Structure 1
Amino acid sequence: MRLSSIALVFGTFLIGAVLCLVTALFAVNVIQDNSERGVRRALDLAALHWAEVEADGLRVYLAGTAPSEALRFQALSTAGAVVDAARIIDQMEVEETKQMAPPRFSIEILRNDGGISLIGLVPSATDREALAARLGKLTEDGSVADLLESADYATPDGWDTAVDYAVSALQRLKRAKVSVSAQQVEITAISNSPNAKRSLESELSSSAPRGLRLSLNISAPRPVITPFTLRFLIEDGTPRFDACSADTEEARNRILSAATSAGLTGKAACTIGLGVPTPNWAAAAEQAIAALARLGGGSVTFSDADVTLVAAEGTEPDLFDRTVGELENSLPDVFALHAVLPEPKDDKATGPPEFLATLSPEGLLQLRGRLSDELSRTTTESFARARFGSGNIYVGARLDDSLPADWPVRVLTGLEALSKLSNGALIVQPDTIRVSGNTGNTEASAEIARLLAEKLGEAERFDIDVTYQEKLDPVASIPTPEECEAEIAAILDTRKINFEPGSSTPDSAARGTIDDIAEILKTCGEVRMEIGGHTDSQGREVMNQQLSQARAQAVLNALRERRVLTANITAKGYGEETPIADNDTEEGREANRRIEFKLIRPEPTDEEQTTLESVEQSNVEDTDAEAPSEQGSSDE
């Protein structure tokens, strides 16, 4: 009986002890899990994903590599807000402090009539005094405002080359902003005319060192037209412009619309320029063109505020008088109208005296017909040799002292007009001057009309028949970058650039393809393109990228060997990251092994550019879509 009581008491205590132990273990596990989850959640909310959490009983271990000492301390503070800081065991490490990256060195060189200023950050090794001295030679007083700061870092590659080129470019630029950084120069400037702009861009591009990225933003102001000229004709029922000028886009649209209503078909050019004598220019032009259309033929010529209307021969006098009267009453006050109704020709009269000049496509000028006297012949020959070259003149004109007094002036003016053509003919008569021929200048007809009106007077009759031919235009004949890209794509649609297996050496069949591409690029000028190398997905990704880079560079080197200007052409390997077909098939892998040519277009920027007061900024211009254009290359 006594043993049973003792056993019962002992069993009760044992059961209680076991229950307490189980309860304690359960409580510890609950606390451990809750602590680990709570700390993990807090660290995630604080974006401290690098920190690792592990709970062991009541202790919480923090591990991982912190990017900085501050983030390590933040992790400890975040965990301490969830559990007692005494329970946290810090096992975190801190990344080694990286060497501070060098700053971006750049110079802004501003030049105008007031002098030259330097703004920016340069390496300490840059000789600022020598740079200022070189730039000082470009100014009258030799002064240069040096606002540069320097930093003691290594000079980046291409820095000295870019600075030297910028200084040499400023010798051609009187007003400009030149931005210089390592291996890159950006030039913003203004030129005197569109022709000067094209010439300046060509000079700057051709003189740029190889490997230098050059960005040109050169604007040309509106041309100053003196006299402000417009000449519209209707001959044999066919309307045309010999010259057209307008002061605004709206005025040009109004003038061309009036010409269309008068029967003009096709596209007509009308130059927007400076020098308009009155804001009512477009209204006066509309009224004059409409009056000429009512007459059915003739010409109307504007030279500043002087208007000359010449009716066609055979125009009814009543219609002429009525039309001229209405036009005189409707023209703005500033314009003066001179109207001419030609007298009927006498069929029995002999032909008028003439002076003829013909200019061949080879540049040979032949002078025939009549000249006033020996002095006039000597003057005409000297003028012709100065304009057309001393070895290209044949003179076969005879002397006639019965010619009009203004004959020498008419001859010299006509020769000056003929010099604006690539080839053509000139006929000078007492009552008219005829100039005809071909040109590569879209403004040639307008320039000739202004010249004749200015030199001979607004009432003078002259006939201009000038044909623009694109093949004679040195600028228009150059293909656009998009056309170059399309021509290369047309070649590579049928012929790929293949390589020796597993190497960056083009095979023998690729040489002819590269030859044809080189010939296209030689006609394209300074076009910015990228040669991109691509592979299939076979092999390691790093090896594929290296192989694609080597192959793109091999194509670039092959173009250089063929004397192609490659300063604006770069090579880049993309490896397997941009497939154009399925890599699971042999056909797809073959398509993915390729070389692509594509244009490099300027990226839009939201930053405002600093400008000189005297430099006009023109917004460029375009957001074109990139199109892949060359394919090739073969991997093992």
Structure 2
Amino acid sequence: MSRPPFRMIAPLALVAAAGLCALAALLAVGLLESRTAGAVRAALAEAGMGWAEAAPDGMLVRLSGTAPDEAARFRALSAAGAVIDAAHVIDEIAVKPANPLAAPRFSVELLRNASGISVIGLVPATTDRAALGRTLSRIAPRVSVADMLESADYPEPLGWQDALAFGLDALSRFDSAKISVTPRRVAISAITESDRARERAEQALRKAAPEGLTLALDISAPRPMIAPFTLRFLMDGEGARFDACAADTEEARARIEAAARAAGMVADMDCPLGLGVPADSWGAAVARGIEALARIGGGALTFSDSDVTLVAAAGSDRATFDGAVATLRAVLPAPFELHAVLAEPVKVDGSGAETGPREFFATLSPEGLLQLRGRVPDALVQAAAESYARARFGQDSVHSAMRIDPNLPEGWPLRVLAGLEALSQLRNGSVIVQAGFVRLTGLTMDDTAQARVARLLSDRLGDAQNFEIDITYREPPETVDGRPTPQACVAQIGDILAAEKITFAPGSTRIEGSAVRVVDAIADVLRRCPDAQIEIGGHTDSQGREEMNESLSQQRAEAVLTALMARRVLTSNLTARGYGESRPIADNGTEEGREANRRIEFRLIAPEGEEAAADDAPPEGGTDGQD
């Protein structure tokens, strides 16, 4: 075997030495990388980040794994950077995706007052904002609507549409309200014109609320102005009861009720709180009066402002009567003034016979026909009674068979007119007028009629007058199946108004006379059409200032709406709008034209998505009387 030449040994040795050095360097680097990666792993484990992996890559360390969030990722990098220069750390850490954002809380605030409607809140992007705007404009057509809604592109929560629709329906029922709508709850704060209206609104809202919706109600009623401030308490064969009642405070009402219970009243007492009391001692004065009547044993006690009339029942013991009256005079506080009468037996005949008692009587049929019979003092009073009756009951609805008796007592004409006015408040009935007695009987579907009639007679007849009221209240019929179409309902109302208009006193917004029965008839129709969207439009002639006419027409339209509500008609789909003189249907240059232009119209409002009813549609009826 030959050996390499000597001159080759040195280079080979050098190559071998270099190889050994390279191998040693590689082994040293690998050991360093492993130790560095191990140190980083230890640091990560100590920090509780077992999810992170550290792998050597030459002089670098690669960090991988899935961090639960960005904060954990940053802590892992910081832990590695404490072991090795951060410049040598390669970040390959993934971050777990964040949870999707939760849907926002959708809610709407509906605010309504005399100046307009405001809508504030957040709604789903799918909400039809244009339809919402049309609905709000229909609810309050003559005021501004401020839309301050924002929207978010998230799915509608369950129950959202039902809750929003119910909130809008509730808004249409009040002139002043705040309604908060969320998907499962609607909160309503509102003001009504009376306690009765508040009770009816609460009942209607609870009935209309969608199933599963939580309803929170805070409805208040400001105290009405009662004039005259009237209370009438009766004790007769039917028991102790109120024909009319009013109180100024809760304490006064409680005191009045306690006295009535002690006198034998067992029925519930309806005694609204009102403004206009003649003195703070009202409750004490009424309680004393009831105590005096109870001592006598029967009769009627009437307070009309500060005038007090005590009429003892015919046949009452004179000594007991005198003692009770004397005691009441002594304890009755100022400014109340007592008029006491021990009634004579009353014979009511109603035949008109010459041999019967001197009396005047009128009978109103369910169809609205009025018969006038009995006695009047002269031809002038006869003509005045006929004219007054035609103004209140309709020009062609009055049949007169009165006869003249010049020996009638003073004050007879006033009593006749008061009786006719009281009769006009009823659906049908009769009134009998005698020298010392007036009796009114009849039927109504307005549960406020009895108190209104008592107030009217006590005011018109004056002090120390004996009168009797026997009014039957009949609950309006429930809506039945087989309802007519909205178009048919409006057509029926048009027929009613074509036969007889809704009348107002000149410059007044009070519904009176034959208009009471016209509203009764319209209420009967509307109960069968609870879903019809109808506008009640008020119109005037061109006499007077334009602004005044517009305001008057609006008030009259609202008066009709309020009268329908009093007859338990659901009014959520009814709106009142005054047009003033802007839409004449006849020449304002003639009396006949002005008469035609003074009117109330009922107009069908087309549902959303359909073309609205034409503004120039022919009127269905109108009002009477000067504007």
How high is the TM-score relative to the length of structure 1? 0.51
**2:446 aligned with 1:441:** yes
Equivalent-residue separation in structure 1 for 2:239 and 2:141 (angstroms): 59
Q: Deviations over 1:319-362 (max 9, x none)?
A: 2222211111111222111222346789xx96432111223334
**Gap regions ≥5 residues in structure 1:** 1-34, 44-50, 56-60, 480-521, 527-564, 569-636
**2:104 aligned with 1:95:** no
Cα deviation, residue 454, structure 1: 0.8
Equivalent-residue separation in structure 2 for 1:327 and 1:204 (angstroms): 47
Kept in 1: contact 2:229–2:277 (CA 8 A): yes
1:42-441 aligned within 5 A: 66=68, 68-70=69-71, 93-95=95-97, 98=100, 104=106, 106=108, 109=111, 111-112=113-114, 138=142, 148=148, 175-177=176-178, 189-193=190-194, 219-236=220-237, 238-342=239-343, 351-441=356-446
**Alpha-carbon spacing, 1:320–1:108, altered in 2? closer, same or farther (3 Å):** closer
**Alpha-carbon spacing, 1:230–1:201, altered in 2? closer, same or farther (3 Å):** closer
Corresponding residue number in structure 2 for 1:5? none
Kept in 1: contact 2:112–2:171 (CA 8 A): no
Corresponding residue number in structure 2 for 1:452? 457
Equivalent-residue separation in structure 2 for 1:77 and 1:439 (angstroms): 88
Secondary structure at 2:280 match in 1 = coil
Cα deviation, residue 285, structure 1: 1.4
Q: What CA RMSD, in Å, does the superposition of the two structures yield over aligned residues?
A: 6.0
Secondary structure at 2:469 match in 1 = strand
Equivalent-residue separation in structure 2 for 1:345 and 1:439 (angstroms): 26
* 168-177 vs 221-230, greater mean Cα deviation: 168-177
Secondary structure at 1:383 match in 2 = helix
**Alpha-carbon spacing, 1:116–1:243, altered in 2? closer, same or farther (3 Å):** closer
Cα deviation, residue 177, structure 1: 4.4
Q: Deviations over 1:29-63 (max 9, x none)?
A: xxxxxx9xx999x79xxxxxxx97999xxxxx997
Cα deviation, residue 303, structure 1: 0.8
Kept in 1: contact 2:122–2:152 (CA 8 A): no
Corresponding residue number in structure 2 for 1:556? none
**Alpha-carbon spacing, 1:268–1:168, altered in 2? closer, same or farther (3 Å):** closer
Cα deviation, residue 420, structure 1: 2.3
Cα deviation, residue 455, structure 1: 1.1
**Alpha-carbon spacing, 1:106–1:80, altered in 2? closer, same or farther (3 Å):** farther
Kept in 2: contact 1:138–1:171 (CA 8 A): no
**Alpha-carbon spacing, 1:447–1:344, altered in 2? closer, same or farther (3 Å):** closer
Kept in 1: contact 2:73–2:93 (CA 8 A): no
Larger Cα Rg: Structure 1 or Structure 2?
2
Kept in 2: contact 1:106–1:182 (CA 8 A): no
**Alpha-carbon spacing, 1:257–1:97, altered in 2? closer, same or farther (3 Å):** closer
Corresponding residue number in structure 1 for 2:466? 461
Secondary structure at 2:421 match in 1 = helix
Equivalent-residue separation in structure 1 for 2:319 and 2:369 (angstroms): 48
**Alpha-carbon spacing, 1:100–1:236, altered in 2? closer, same or farther (3 Å):** closer
**Alpha-carbon spacing, 1:52–1:304, altered in 2? closer, same or farther (3 Å):** farther
Identical counterparts, % of pairs: 47
Cα deviation, residue 388, structure 1: 3.5
Secondary structure at 2:440 match in 1 = strand
Kept in 2: contact 1:247–1:272 (CA 8 A): yes
1:19-34 aligned within 5 A: none
**Gap regions ≥5 residues in structure 2:** 1-41, 55-62, 348-353, 481-526, 532-569, 574-627
